[in-house]
Amino acid sequence: MPKEPVAVVGIGQTKHVSARHDVSIAGLVREAAVAALADAGLTWADIDAVVIGKAPDFFEGVMMPELYLADALGAVGKPMLRVHTAGSVGGSTALIAANLVAARVHRTVLTLAFEKQSESNAMWGLSLPIPFQQPLLAGAGGFFAPHVRAYMRRSGAPDTVGSLVAYKDRRNALKNPYAHIHDPGITLEKVQAAPMLWDPIRYSETCPSSDGACAMILTDRGGAARSPHPPAWVHGGAMRSEPTLFAGKDFVSPQAGKDCAADVYRQAGITDPRREIDAAEIYVPFSWYEPMWLENLGFADEGEGWKLTESGATELDGDLPVNPSGGVLSTNPIGASGMIRFAEAALQVRGRAGEHQVPGAAKALGHAYGGGAQFFSMWLVGSQPPAG
């Protein structure tokens, strides 16, 4: 029996900010969930199961917070799963929820991801030392900067590309009311003048630390038929993992990312992603990862990703808008960031992205990655149900 088609009928986000002092963790997640239910025209009683994800528990200092959040998310008496796949977790969480519907185990599932980074200190959370393992002493930026430098050497990209991405994403964020960083006075010169943090990554080219949550309601064909707003349909979804460190690992373009994209495109019948995909929400925590992932995802040939960025193709009015929402560079509640990518892709094909809507977007990619560029999760959503 073929899989049940999966539809996204509800999407909710909080306004993402540095610190939501006005709500508890429970209050934060409930805000996103209630918004998603409202969008879907459903109530808590319509939800069969809850799948929740977030990045490390040390970020809030709560072990397995899904236990305490069961009440706030209406999960009492229902199944509740808690996913943790590092930075890719928001995407993985959505895919696991989608599997529950695709397998016909449940009909309507609430999936949610969050991070309330102001409850603790993310840099501390990532720096707990244990014996005999390489510590990430300089945080995530220190880990990824050498790989960006390797990309620049390999591709011959001029050192101006990173600032173009940051300038674009931060301008896109001005059109997204939920985005964390809203800087109306932004100029390319300001981006370029920011201090260097981890050469070649400038402060202006890094993601913020945000509090925020994102929720989606996934349902089957019958549920989609009752949806008050157009659904987004899942045409393909996949996860791939590879080890953190091993001889032959390509940190510039990991094999797991390529394999994951290939699997998604195969499921969705995509043969030319550059032409067939109308918008992409790609996990870009440091600006240089836009050209790098454009290659890894097959939008550009190896060494050519930066040319796509430089040409303006990835601008909101370009022919392949990348991160019309403002992306991770503008909003980064870590555990939710992947799900926001998936949700923003769905908003685009539902035609409900507001000011940052890509006109006529019919197919969109949501992408997330995590760990030492080792965990990947992606989905491709469309405005029409999948064929078959």
Per-residue contact string for residues 82-121; x = within reach of other proteins by CB under 8 A: xxxxx-----x---x--xx-xxxx-------------x--
Distance CA 36, CA 56 (A): 24
Segment interacting with other proteins, rule: CB under 8 A, options 49-57, 199-207, 226-234, 273-281: 49-57
Could you count the other beta carbons within 10 Å of the beta carbon of residue 133?
8
Cβ closer to other proteins: 27 or 318? Answer: 27
* Least distance from other proteins to the Cβ atom of residue 81, Å: 6
Pick from 290, 297, 293: which is nearest to 167 by CA? Answer: 290
Which residues lie below 8 Å from residue 185, measured CB to CB, with a gap of 6+? none
β-pair partners for 196: 202
Among 36, 145, 232, 256, binds other proteins (CB under 8 A): 256
Among 8, 32, 191, 238, binds other proteins (CB under 8 A): 238
β-pair partners for 232: 8
Among 7, 8, 17, 25, binds other proteins (CB under 8 A): 25
Q: Which amino acid is at 38?
A: A
Among 18, 71, 193, 301, binds other proteins (CB under 8 A): 71
Does 70 interact with other proteins (rule: CB under 8 A)? Answer: yes
* Least distance from other proteins to the Cβ atom of residue 75, Å: 5
Pick from 298, 250, 308: which is nearest to 276 by CA? Answer: 298
Cβ closer to other proteins: 63 or 156? Answer: 63
Distance CA 58, CA 378 (A): 25
Interaction residues for other proteins, span 364-383 (CB under 8 A): 371-372, 374-375
Q: Which amino acid is at 309?
A: T
Pick from 213, 217, 215: which is nearest to 28 by CA? Answer: 213
With contact defined as beta carbons under 8 Å apart, do 106 and 77 qualify?
Answer: no
Question: Which residues of the shown chain bind other proteins in the complex (CB under 8 A)?
Answer: 1-3, 24-25, 55-71, 75-86, 92, 96, 99-100, 102-105, 119, 125-126, 128-130, 132-133, 238-246, 248-249, 254-256, 259-260, 371-372, 374-375
